[in-house]
Amino acid sequence: MTTDSKVALVTGGNRGIGLAIARSLKSDGFTVIVGHRNGSSIEDFPGVVLDVSDSSSVDKAVAQIEQLYGSIEVLVANAGITKDGLSMRMSDEDFESVVNTNLTGAFRAARAASMGMLKRRYGRLIFIGSVVGMLGSAGQVNYSSTKSGLIGMARSFARELGSRGITSNVVAPGFVETEMTEVLSDDRKSTILEGIPLQRFSTPEEIAQVVSFLASSKASYITGAVIPVDGGLGMGH
Protein backbone atom coordinates (compact mmCIF):
# COMPACT_ATOMS: atom_id res chain seq x y z
CA MET A 1 0.00 0.00 0.00
CA THR A 2 1.27 3.45 -0.88
CA THR A 3 -0.34 6.83 -0.27
CA ASP A 4 -0.84 9.91 -2.40
CA SER A 5 0.03 12.25 0.48
CA LYS A 6 3.57 13.02 1.56
CA VAL A 7 5.04 10.66 4.14
CA ALA A 8 6.60 11.85 7.39
CA LEU A 9 8.37 9.81 10.04
CA VAL A 10 8.64 11.14 13.59
CA THR A 11 11.02 9.23 15.84
CA GLY A 12 9.99 9.24 19.47
CA GLY A 13 6.57 10.30 18.25
CA ASN A 14 4.52 8.51 20.88
CA ARG A 15 4.34 11.32 23.46
CA GLY A 16 5.20 14.90 24.37
CA ILE A 17 6.83 17.03 21.70
CA GLY A 18 6.97 14.12 19.24
CA LEU A 19 3.25 13.46 19.43
CA ALA A 20 2.47 17.17 19.05
CA ILE A 21 4.66 17.20 15.93
CA ALA A 22 2.86 14.15 14.54
CA ARG A 23 -0.51 15.85 15.06
CA SER A 24 0.66 19.06 13.43
CA LEU A 25 2.08 17.32 10.37
CA LYS A 26 -1.09 15.29 9.99
CA SER A 27 -3.15 18.48 9.98
CA ASP A 28 -0.84 19.68 7.19
CA GLY A 29 -1.85 16.69 5.07
CA PHE A 30 1.05 14.32 5.72
CA THR A 31 0.75 10.60 6.27
CA VAL A 32 2.57 10.43 9.59
CA ILE A 33 4.21 7.33 11.02
CA VAL A 34 5.41 7.40 14.61
CA GLY A 35 8.50 5.37 15.36
CA HIS A 36 9.24 4.17 18.88
CA ARG A 37 10.53 1.11 20.66
CA ASN A 38 7.32 -0.87 21.04
CA GLY A 39 5.88 0.22 17.70
CA SER A 40 2.26 0.39 18.80
CA SER A 41 -0.14 2.76 17.08
CA ILE A 42 -0.72 6.04 18.91
CA GLU A 43 -4.15 7.64 18.56
CA ASP A 44 -4.80 7.03 14.86
CA PHE A 45 -1.16 7.22 13.78
CA PRO A 46 0.38 4.02 12.44
CA GLY A 47 3.34 2.94 14.53
CA VAL A 48 6.52 1.15 13.62
CA VAL A 49 9.08 -0.55 15.85
CA LEU A 50 12.07 1.76 15.74
CA ASP A 51 14.91 1.76 18.24
CA VAL A 52 17.31 4.51 17.17
CA SER A 53 20.08 2.97 19.27
CA ASP A 54 20.09 -0.05 16.92
CA SER A 55 21.06 0.38 13.26
CA SER A 56 19.27 -2.77 12.12
CA SER A 57 16.04 -1.62 13.81
CA VAL A 58 16.23 1.75 12.08
CA ASP A 59 16.96 0.26 8.66
CA LYS A 60 14.17 -2.29 9.03
CA ALA A 61 11.66 0.37 10.09
CA VAL A 62 12.49 2.65 7.16
CA ALA A 63 12.26 -0.27 4.70
CA GLN A 64 8.87 -1.22 6.15
CA ILE A 65 7.57 2.35 5.86
CA GLU A 66 8.75 2.65 2.27
CA GLN A 67 7.07 -0.63 1.35
CA LEU A 68 3.74 0.26 2.96
CA TYR A 69 3.52 4.02 2.43
CA GLY A 70 6.21 5.15 -0.01
CA SER A 71 9.41 7.12 0.39
CA ILE A 72 9.84 9.27 3.47
CA GLU A 73 9.85 12.93 2.51
CA VAL A 74 10.09 14.39 6.00
CA LEU A 75 12.11 12.96 8.86
CA VAL A 76 11.76 14.47 12.31
CA ALA A 77 14.58 13.10 14.48
CA ASN A 78 13.04 13.63 17.90
CA ALA A 79 13.87 10.50 19.91
CA GLY A 80 16.02 11.22 22.92
CA ILE A 81 16.84 10.29 26.49
CA THR A 82 18.45 11.93 29.51
CA LYS A 83 20.72 10.50 32.19
CA ASP A 84 21.57 13.58 34.19
CA GLY A 85 24.30 13.84 36.78
CA LEU A 86 27.37 15.82 37.70
CA SER A 87 30.24 15.06 35.34
CA MET A 88 32.55 13.83 38.11
CA ARG A 89 29.99 11.15 38.95
CA MET A 90 28.82 10.37 35.41
CA SER A 91 29.78 6.91 34.24
CA ASP A 92 31.00 6.13 30.74
CA GLU A 93 27.80 4.16 30.20
CA ASP A 94 25.60 7.12 31.16
CA PHE A 95 27.50 9.36 28.77
CA GLU A 96 27.72 6.89 25.90
CA SER A 97 24.10 5.69 26.07
CA VAL A 98 22.81 9.26 25.74
CA VAL A 99 25.15 9.90 22.82
CA ASN A 100 24.11 6.62 21.19
CA THR A 101 20.41 7.50 21.33
CA ASN A 102 20.35 11.26 20.90
CA LEU A 103 23.18 11.84 18.45
CA THR A 104 24.15 8.57 16.78
CA GLY A 105 20.47 7.59 16.74
CA ALA A 106 19.59 10.77 14.85
CA PHE A 107 22.37 10.00 12.39
CA ARG A 108 21.09 6.46 11.85
CA ALA A 109 17.58 7.72 11.14
CA ALA A 110 18.76 10.48 8.80
CA ARG A 111 21.13 8.17 6.94
CA ALA A 112 18.37 5.63 6.31
CA ALA A 113 15.64 8.13 5.40
CA SER A 114 17.87 10.21 3.14
CA MET A 115 18.40 7.30 0.75
CA GLY A 116 14.85 7.64 -0.57
CA MET A 117 15.08 11.42 -0.48
CA LEU A 118 18.13 11.31 -2.74
CA LYS A 119 16.23 9.26 -5.30
CA ARG A 120 13.32 11.72 -5.25
CA ARG A 121 15.64 14.73 -5.15
CA TYR A 122 13.52 16.13 -2.36
CA GLY A 123 13.40 15.85 1.39
CA ARG A 124 13.34 17.52 4.77
CA LEU A 125 15.59 16.50 7.66
CA ILE A 126 14.48 18.16 10.90
CA PHE A 127 16.44 17.52 14.08
CA ILE A 128 15.00 18.36 17.50
CA GLY A 129 17.84 19.94 19.43
CA SER A 130 17.76 22.05 22.58
CA VAL A 131 18.80 25.43 23.87
CA VAL A 132 21.32 23.60 26.08
CA GLY A 133 23.19 22.58 22.94
CA MET A 134 24.26 26.23 22.71
CA LEU A 135 24.18 27.29 26.36
CA GLY A 136 25.39 24.16 28.12
CA SER A 137 23.72 22.86 31.26
CA ALA A 138 25.20 21.84 34.59
CA GLY A 139 24.47 18.19 35.26
CA GLN A 140 23.82 17.50 31.58
CA VAL A 141 27.25 17.20 30.00
CA ASN A 142 26.08 14.15 28.06
CA TYR A 143 22.74 15.58 26.91
CA SER A 144 24.15 19.03 26.07
CA SER A 145 26.94 17.44 24.04
CA THR A 146 24.46 15.51 21.92
CA LYS A 147 22.31 18.56 21.25
CA SER A 148 25.37 20.59 20.29
CA GLY A 149 26.48 17.74 18.04
CA LEU A 150 23.15 17.79 16.23
CA ILE A 151 23.94 21.28 14.96
CA GLY A 152 27.17 20.13 13.29
CA MET A 153 25.39 17.05 11.97
CA ALA A 154 22.49 18.98 10.48
CA ARG A 155 24.78 21.50 8.82
CA SER A 156 26.95 18.73 7.38
CA PHE A 157 23.86 17.03 5.93
CA ALA A 158 22.80 20.42 4.55
CA ARG A 159 26.09 20.75 2.68
CA GLU A 160 26.14 17.14 1.49
CA LEU A 161 22.54 16.90 0.33
CA GLY A 162 21.53 20.42 -0.62
CA SER A 163 22.24 19.93 -4.31
CA ARG A 164 19.61 17.17 -4.29
CA GLY A 165 16.83 19.37 -2.97
CA ILE A 166 17.13 18.15 0.62
CA THR A 167 17.13 20.64 3.49
CA SER A 168 18.46 19.97 6.97
CA ASN A 169 17.67 22.09 10.00
CA VAL A 170 17.56 22.08 13.80
CA VAL A 171 14.69 23.23 16.01
CA ALA A 172 16.04 24.12 19.45
CA PRO A 173 13.35 24.21 22.16
CA GLY A 174 13.88 25.71 25.57
CA PHE A 175 11.78 24.53 28.49
CA VAL A 176 8.58 22.86 27.34
CA GLU A 177 5.47 21.81 29.25
CA THR A 178 5.96 18.02 29.17
CA GLU A 179 6.19 15.13 31.60
CA MET A 180 9.88 15.95 32.07
CA THR A 181 9.23 19.49 33.33
CA GLU A 182 6.13 18.61 35.34
CA VAL A 183 8.32 16.99 37.98
CA LEU A 184 10.36 20.16 38.63
CA SER A 185 9.79 21.81 41.99
CA ASP A 186 8.08 25.19 42.14
CA ASP A 187 11.32 26.79 43.30
CA ARG A 188 13.22 25.30 40.37
CA LYS A 189 10.55 26.47 37.92
CA SER A 190 10.68 29.99 39.36
CA THR A 191 14.44 30.09 38.95
CA ILE A 192 14.19 28.95 35.34
CA LEU A 193 11.44 31.46 34.52
CA GLU A 194 13.62 34.31 35.74
CA GLY A 195 15.89 33.68 32.75
CA ILE A 196 13.11 33.48 30.15
CA PRO A 197 12.02 36.89 28.82
CA LEU A 198 8.54 35.58 27.97
CA GLN A 199 8.19 34.29 31.55
CA ARG A 200 6.66 30.92 30.68
CA PHE A 201 7.47 27.50 29.30
CA SER A 202 6.44 26.73 25.73
CA THR A 203 3.76 24.24 24.81
CA PRO A 204 4.61 21.20 22.68
CA GLU A 205 2.32 22.65 20.02
CA GLU A 206 4.51 25.75 19.70
CA ILE A 207 7.48 23.53 18.88
CA ALA A 208 5.37 21.51 16.46
CA GLN A 209 4.28 24.60 14.53
CA VAL A 210 7.90 25.47 13.76
CA VAL A 211 8.53 21.91 12.59
CA SER A 212 5.47 22.15 10.33
CA PHE A 213 6.89 25.33 8.82
CA LEU A 214 10.25 23.69 8.10
CA ALA A 215 8.47 20.71 6.53
CA SER A 216 6.47 22.98 4.21
CA SER A 217 7.26 24.58 0.87
CA LYS A 218 7.43 27.94 2.68
CA ALA A 219 10.80 26.88 4.11
CA SER A 220 12.27 25.64 0.83
CA TYR A 221 15.24 28.04 0.98
CA ILE A 222 16.13 27.42 4.62
CA THR A 223 18.84 24.89 5.35
CA GLY A 224 21.61 24.55 7.91
CA ALA A 225 19.64 26.74 10.30
CA VAL A 226 19.15 26.48 14.04
CA ILE A 227 15.76 27.90 15.00
CA PRO A 228 15.37 28.59 18.73
CA VAL A 229 11.92 28.20 20.23
CA ASP A 230 12.87 29.12 23.76
CA GLY A 231 11.07 32.30 24.77
CA GLY A 232 14.33 34.23 24.50
CA LEU A 233 16.27 32.07 26.98
CA GLY A 234 19.20 31.52 24.62
CA MET A 235 19.46 34.99 23.09
CA GLY A 236 22.94 35.80 21.83
CA HIS A 237 24.03 32.21 21.31
Indicate whether 234 belongs to any domain: no
Specify the pLDDT at position 4: 65
Indicate whether 237 belongs to any domain: no
Specify the pLDDT at position 28: 97
Domain that holds residue 91: 7-229
Specify the pLDDT at position 51: 96
Specify the pLDDT at position 44: 87
122 is catalytic: no
CATH assignment of the domain containing 60:
3.40.50.720
Helices and strands in the chain: count of H runs, count of E runs: 9, 7
Indicate whether 130 belongs to any domain: yes
Indicate whether 52 belongs to any domain: yes
Residue 1 has pLDDT above 60, yes or no: no
Indicate whether 201 belongs to any domain: yes
Question: How many domains in the chain?
Answer: 1
Residue range 203-235, pLDDT digits in tens = 999 999 999 999 999 999 999 999 999 999 998
Q: How many CA atoms lie within 13 A of 118 on its CB side?
A: 10
Catalytic residue among 69, 122, 143, 221: 143
Indicate whether 37 belongs to any domain: yes
Residue 184 has pLDDT above 80, yes or no: no
Quote the pTM value.
0.95
Residue range 128-179, pLDDT digits in tens = 999 999 999 888 999 999 999 999 999 999 999 999 999 999 999 999 998 7
Could you give the CA distance from residue 135 to residue 83 in angstroms, rounded to a whole number? 18
Contacts of 16 (CB under 8 A, 6+ apart): 176, 178, 179, 180, 204
| 75: β partners | 9, 125
